[in-house]
Structure 1
Amino acid sequence: MTITDESDNRLRIVNALQLLHDQAVKDSTVGIPIAKVLETSGWSWHVAELAPAQTIAPHYHRHGDEIYFVLAGAGLIHTWPADESPAARHSQRVEAAATFSIAPQTVHQLENTGTTPLVLLFACSPDHLTADRVVVAAHKAS
Protein backbone atom coordinates (compact mmCIF):
# COMPACT_ATOMS: atom_id res chain seq x y z
CA MET A 1 0.00 0.00 0.00
CA THR A 2 1.35 3.36 -1.00
CA ILE A 3 -0.77 6.44 -0.50
CA THR A 4 0.24 9.78 -1.86
CA ASP A 5 -1.92 12.81 -1.20
CA GLU A 6 -2.20 14.30 -4.70
CA SER A 7 -3.03 17.73 -3.27
CA ASP A 8 0.12 17.73 -1.14
CA ASN A 9 3.18 15.96 -2.52
CA ARG A 10 4.84 16.34 0.88
CA LEU A 11 2.98 13.30 2.23
CA ARG A 12 3.71 9.67 1.37
CA ILE A 13 2.37 6.74 3.39
CA VAL A 14 3.60 3.21 2.75
CA ASN A 15 3.11 -0.20 4.33
CA ALA A 16 6.64 -1.37 5.20
CA LEU A 17 5.56 -4.97 5.82
CA GLN A 18 3.86 -5.15 2.43
CA LEU A 19 7.02 -3.78 0.79
CA LEU A 20 9.07 -6.43 2.60
CA HIS A 21 6.76 -9.10 1.21
CA ASP A 22 6.48 -7.69 -2.33
CA GLN A 23 9.76 -5.93 -3.08
CA ALA A 24 12.54 -7.20 -0.80
CA VAL A 25 15.76 -8.23 -2.48
CA LYS A 26 18.36 -10.36 -0.74
CA ASP A 27 21.33 -8.23 0.20
CA SER A 28 24.19 -10.62 -0.52
CA THR A 29 26.64 -8.63 1.60
CA VAL A 30 24.81 -9.20 4.89
CA GLY A 31 22.60 -12.09 3.78
CA ILE A 32 19.05 -10.83 4.44
CA PRO A 33 16.12 -9.53 2.37
CA ILE A 34 15.83 -5.72 2.46
CA ALA A 35 13.26 -3.39 0.88
CA LYS A 36 13.52 0.38 0.59
CA VAL A 37 10.57 2.01 2.32
CA LEU A 38 11.17 5.76 1.93
CA GLU A 39 13.96 8.12 1.02
CA THR A 40 14.14 11.70 2.24
CA SER A 41 16.93 14.23 2.16
CA GLY A 42 19.70 12.67 4.19
CA TRP A 43 17.82 9.52 5.26
CA SER A 44 16.88 6.19 3.70
CA TRP A 45 14.33 3.98 5.43
CA HIS A 46 14.41 0.22 4.90
CA VAL A 47 12.67 -2.87 6.22
CA ALA A 48 14.53 -6.16 6.65
CA GLU A 49 13.92 -9.65 7.96
CA LEU A 50 16.13 -12.25 9.62
CA ALA A 51 14.87 -15.83 9.69
CA PRO A 52 15.03 -17.77 12.97
CA ALA A 53 18.67 -18.61 13.85
CA GLN A 54 19.97 -16.25 11.13
CA THR A 55 22.84 -13.85 11.82
CA ILE A 56 23.93 -11.03 9.53
CA ALA A 57 27.53 -10.39 8.53
CA PRO A 58 29.24 -8.03 10.98
CA HIS A 59 29.85 -4.61 9.48
CA TYR A 60 30.16 -0.93 10.29
CA HIS A 61 29.66 2.44 8.66
CA ARG A 62 32.22 5.24 8.64
CA HIS A 63 29.68 8.07 8.77
CA GLY A 64 26.23 8.64 10.21
CA ASP A 65 24.07 6.86 12.73
CA GLU A 66 21.80 3.96 11.91
CA ILE A 67 18.49 3.84 13.78
CA TYR A 68 16.48 0.63 14.22
CA PHE A 69 12.94 -0.15 15.31
CA VAL A 70 12.06 -3.81 15.90
CA LEU A 71 8.66 -4.50 14.36
CA ALA A 72 8.45 -8.21 15.28
CA GLY A 73 10.50 -11.02 16.74
CA ALA A 74 13.43 -11.10 19.13
CA GLY A 75 17.16 -11.38 18.93
CA LEU A 76 20.52 -9.95 19.89
CA ILE A 77 22.44 -6.94 18.64
CA HIS A 78 26.18 -7.51 19.00
CA THR A 79 28.40 -4.40 18.85
CA TRP A 80 32.07 -3.52 19.23
CA PRO A 81 34.33 -0.62 18.21
CA ALA A 82 35.61 -0.92 14.63
CA ASP A 83 39.20 -0.53 15.80
CA GLU A 84 38.96 -3.41 18.32
CA SER A 85 38.61 -7.17 18.03
CA PRO A 86 35.30 -9.01 18.36
CA ALA A 87 36.49 -9.98 21.84
CA ALA A 88 35.31 -6.49 22.88
CA ARG A 89 31.80 -7.44 21.78
CA HIS A 90 28.79 -6.32 23.80
CA SER A 91 25.47 -8.09 23.24
CA GLN A 92 22.05 -6.71 24.03
CA ARG A 93 18.66 -8.39 23.69
CA VAL A 94 16.11 -6.65 21.45
CA GLU A 95 12.47 -7.49 20.84
CA ALA A 96 9.32 -6.04 19.28
CA ALA A 97 8.95 -2.30 19.97
CA ALA A 98 12.64 -1.85 20.88
CA THR A 99 14.38 1.12 19.28
CA PHE A 100 18.15 1.50 19.18
CA SER A 101 20.83 3.43 17.36
CA ILE A 102 24.27 2.44 16.13
CA ALA A 103 26.97 5.11 16.07
CA PRO A 104 29.50 5.41 13.23
CA GLN A 105 32.59 3.20 13.55
CA THR A 106 30.62 0.61 15.55
CA VAL A 107 30.63 -2.92 14.21
CA HIS A 108 27.16 -4.39 14.51
CA GLN A 109 25.77 -7.86 13.95
CA LEU A 110 22.13 -8.80 14.39
CA GLU A 111 21.16 -12.32 15.37
CA ASN A 112 17.65 -13.77 15.43
CA THR A 113 17.44 -15.90 18.58
CA GLY A 114 13.68 -16.44 18.35
CA THR A 115 11.42 -18.90 16.59
CA THR A 116 9.75 -16.30 14.37
CA PRO A 117 11.22 -13.79 11.89
CA LEU A 118 13.02 -10.76 13.33
CA VAL A 119 11.61 -7.82 11.36
CA LEU A 120 13.33 -4.44 11.52
CA LEU A 121 12.63 -0.97 10.20
CA PHE A 122 15.85 1.04 9.97
CA ALA A 123 16.94 4.50 8.90
CA CYS A 124 20.39 5.47 7.70
CA SER A 125 22.20 7.76 5.30
CA PRO A 126 21.56 6.85 1.64
CA ASP A 127 25.06 5.38 1.15
CA HIS A 128 24.98 3.06 4.20
CA LEU A 129 24.06 0.01 2.13
CA THR A 130 26.65 0.70 -0.55
CA ALA A 131 29.77 2.89 -0.32
CA ASP A 132 29.73 3.35 3.46
CA ARG A 133 29.42 -0.28 4.57
CA VAL A 134 32.56 -2.09 5.69
CA VAL A 135 32.22 -5.83 6.32
CA VAL A 136 34.61 -7.22 8.92
CA ALA A 137 35.91 -10.74 9.36
CA ALA A 138 33.10 -13.15 10.07
CA HIS A 139 32.51 -13.76 13.74
CA LYS A 140 30.13 -16.47 14.83
CA ALA A 141 27.70 -15.04 17.35
CA SER A 142 27.31 -17.14 20.47
Structure 2
Amino acid sequence: MKSKNKLLTIMLIILVSITLVGVVALLIVMQFNKPDESDNKPTIDEIIESSVDIPEITTNLAANKFIRISLKVQTDSKEAAEELTKRDFQVKNIVITELSEMTPEDLEGKDGKGMFESALKTKIGELMDDGEIQQVYITSYIIQ
Protein backbone atom coordinates (compact mmCIF):
# COMPACT_ATOMS: atom_id res chain seq x y z
CA MET A 1 0.00 0.00 0.00
CA LYS A 2 2.83 2.39 0.89
CA SER A 3 4.66 1.69 -2.34
CA LYS A 4 1.49 2.48 -4.36
CA ASN A 5 1.10 5.86 -2.60
CA LYS A 6 4.80 6.57 -3.06
CA LEU A 7 4.61 5.66 -6.76
CA LEU A 8 1.48 7.80 -7.20
CA THR A 9 3.20 10.77 -5.51
CA ILE A 10 6.28 10.42 -7.72
CA MET A 11 4.09 10.24 -10.85
CA LEU A 12 2.16 13.34 -9.80
CA ILE A 13 5.40 15.25 -9.15
CA ILE A 14 6.75 14.25 -12.56
CA LEU A 15 3.47 15.21 -14.26
CA VAL A 16 3.36 18.63 -12.55
CA SER A 17 7.04 19.20 -13.41
CA ILE A 18 6.48 18.40 -17.10
CA THR A 19 3.42 20.68 -17.18
CA LEU A 20 5.36 23.49 -15.52
CA VAL A 21 8.25 23.17 -17.98
CA GLY A 22 5.75 23.23 -20.87
CA VAL A 23 4.05 26.39 -19.59
CA VAL A 24 7.39 28.16 -19.10
CA ALA A 25 8.52 27.15 -22.60
CA LEU A 26 5.22 28.39 -24.07
CA LEU A 27 5.56 31.75 -22.31
CA ILE A 28 9.13 32.18 -23.54
CA VAL A 29 8.15 31.37 -27.14
CA MET A 30 5.21 33.80 -26.97
CA GLN A 31 7.46 36.54 -25.58
CA PHE A 32 9.98 36.18 -28.42
CA ASN A 33 7.25 36.14 -31.10
CA LYS A 34 5.65 39.35 -29.85
CA PRO A 35 5.49 41.94 -32.67
CA ASP A 36 8.01 44.71 -32.25
CA GLU A 37 6.34 48.08 -31.62
CA SER A 38 9.03 49.90 -33.56
CA ASP A 39 7.75 48.22 -36.74
CA ASN A 40 4.49 50.16 -36.40
CA LYS A 41 6.08 53.60 -36.60
CA PRO A 42 4.42 55.79 -39.23
CA THR A 43 6.39 56.88 -42.26
CA ILE A 44 7.17 60.56 -42.79
CA ASP A 45 4.48 60.72 -45.48
CA GLU A 46 1.91 59.36 -43.02
CA ILE A 47 3.05 61.87 -40.39
CA ILE A 48 2.67 64.78 -42.83
CA GLU A 49 -0.73 63.52 -43.97
CA SER A 50 -1.98 63.36 -40.38
CA SER A 51 -0.49 66.71 -39.29
CA VAL A 52 -1.95 70.20 -39.21
CA ASP A 53 -0.01 73.46 -39.50
CA ILE A 54 -0.98 76.20 -37.07
CA PRO A 55 -0.05 79.43 -38.85
CA GLU A 56 2.02 82.08 -37.16
CA ILE A 57 0.40 83.53 -34.04
CA THR A 58 1.59 86.81 -32.54
CA THR A 59 0.54 87.44 -28.95
CA ASN A 60 1.81 88.93 -25.75
CA LEU A 61 3.47 87.04 -22.94
CA ALA A 62 2.95 87.73 -19.24
CA ALA A 63 6.10 89.90 -19.03
CA ASN A 64 5.05 92.56 -21.59
CA LYS A 65 6.99 90.82 -24.34
CA PHE A 66 5.61 89.59 -27.64
CA ILE A 67 5.99 86.15 -29.16
CA ARG A 68 5.59 84.97 -32.74
CA ILE A 69 5.14 81.24 -32.93
CA SER A 70 4.12 78.65 -35.53
CA LEU A 71 3.25 75.06 -34.73
CA LYS A 72 2.63 71.73 -36.38
CA VAL A 73 0.31 69.31 -34.60
CA GLN A 74 0.63 65.60 -35.41
CA THR A 75 -2.48 63.46 -34.96
CA ASP A 76 -2.91 59.70 -35.17
CA SER A 77 -4.96 59.67 -38.40
CA LYS A 78 -6.02 61.66 -41.43
CA GLU A 79 -9.55 61.90 -40.02
CA ALA A 80 -8.24 63.39 -36.77
CA ALA A 81 -6.22 65.92 -38.79
CA GLU A 82 -9.40 66.93 -40.65
CA GLU A 83 -11.21 67.41 -37.32
CA LEU A 84 -8.30 69.45 -35.97
CA THR A 85 -8.34 71.65 -39.09
CA LYS A 86 -11.99 72.45 -38.38
CA ARG A 87 -11.09 73.27 -34.77
CA ASP A 88 -8.29 75.67 -35.71
CA PHE A 89 -9.95 78.60 -33.91
CA GLN A 90 -10.11 76.57 -30.70
CA VAL A 91 -6.47 75.53 -31.06
CA LYS A 92 -5.40 79.15 -31.59
CA ASN A 93 -7.35 80.12 -28.47
CA ILE A 94 -5.57 77.45 -26.42
CA VAL A 95 -2.16 78.57 -27.71
CA ILE A 96 -2.87 82.24 -26.95
CA THR A 97 -4.27 81.43 -23.51
CA GLU A 98 -1.28 79.27 -22.60
CA LEU A 99 1.21 81.87 -23.83
CA SER A 100 -0.52 84.73 -22.02
CA GLU A 101 0.45 83.19 -18.68
CA MET A 102 4.05 82.46 -19.60
CA THR A 103 7.19 84.56 -19.36
CA PRO A 104 10.12 84.40 -21.78
CA GLU A 105 12.01 82.49 -19.07
CA ASP A 106 9.28 79.80 -19.05
CA LEU A 107 10.06 79.09 -22.70
CA GLU A 108 13.84 79.05 -22.37
CA GLY A 109 15.78 75.96 -23.32
CA LYS A 110 14.70 72.53 -24.38
CA ASP A 111 12.82 71.86 -21.14
CA GLY A 112 10.72 75.02 -21.36
CA LYS A 113 9.69 74.38 -24.93
CA GLY A 114 9.07 70.71 -24.15
CA MET A 115 6.76 71.60 -21.27
CA PHE A 116 4.88 74.06 -23.51
CA GLU A 117 4.49 71.43 -26.26
CA SER A 118 3.33 68.87 -23.68
CA ALA A 119 0.75 71.25 -22.22
CA LEU A 120 -0.59 72.00 -25.70
CA LYS A 121 -0.75 68.30 -26.54
CA THR A 122 -2.87 67.65 -23.45
CA LYS A 123 -5.19 70.65 -23.89
CA ILE A 124 -5.71 70.16 -27.63
CA GLY A 125 -6.21 66.43 -27.06
CA GLU A 126 -9.12 67.23 -24.75
CA LEU A 127 -10.91 68.93 -27.69
CA MET A 128 -10.72 65.93 -29.99
CA ASP A 129 -13.74 63.69 -30.55
CA ASP A 130 -12.04 61.30 -32.96
CA GLY A 131 -8.37 60.42 -32.78
CA GLU A 132 -5.68 61.81 -30.56
CA ILE A 133 -2.75 64.20 -30.63
CA GLN A 134 0.59 62.44 -31.05
CA GLN A 135 2.97 65.39 -30.87
CA VAL A 136 3.11 69.19 -31.01
CA TYR A 137 6.10 70.74 -32.78
CA ILE A 138 7.27 74.36 -32.62
CA THR A 139 8.18 75.20 -36.21
CA SER A 140 9.13 78.85 -35.70
CA TYR A 141 9.57 80.97 -32.62
CA ILE A 142 10.73 84.47 -31.79
CA ILE A 143 10.31 86.65 -28.72
CA GLN A 144 10.53 90.44 -29.02
Q: Which has the higher strand share?
A: 1
Same fold per TM (> 0.5)? no
Name the TM-score class by shorter chain.
Answer: under 0.3
Q: Looking at CA atoms only, which structure, 1 or 2, has the larger radius of gyration?
A: 2
Q: Which has the higher helix share?
A: 2
TM-score by length of structure 1 reads 0.26
TM-score by length of structure 2 reads 0.26
